[in-house]
Amino acid sequence: MVEPTESETLGELDRFITAMIAIREEIRQVENGTWPQDNNPLKHAPHTAVSLMGTEWNRPYPRETGAFPLSSLKQSKYWPPIGRVDNVYGDRNLFCSCLPVGDYA
């Protein structure tokens, strides 16, 4: 959910608000210099299971912060299969991975 609507449950709205507050706190860590602007959980999100379970970890924040930015995610977590895609490149070079419409006939 990116834009809450009247069809969202109270629980989902609460989850959304908690996530936004957590993201703001991560921004604050960058603003006050705790985390560098180019190497922080915001820049590396989403963290894949593969990136978190590797032997090397060269980031200034703990693996747990990357894996579970909210403690509630320890109970229910979606693990993205890929990390962040270059936003500008992705926006300018969209492609469909669907089957051609003719294959459905």
* Helical residues (DSSP H) of 1-105, grouped into ranges: 10-31, 41-44, 49-53, 63-67, 87-92
Q: Kindly tell me if the per-residue pLDDT of 95 is higher than 80.
A: no
Q: What is the mean pLDDT of residues 41-52?
A: 90
Domain spans in the chain, listed from the N-terminal domain onward? 10-104
pLDDT tens for each residue of 66-94: 999 888 888 888 888 888 777 677 778 77
- Cα separation, 100 vs 65, in Å, equals 41
* pLDDT given at position 100: 80
The answer to pTM > 0.85 is no
pLDDT at 93: 78
Say whether pLDDT at 48 is over 60. Answer: yes
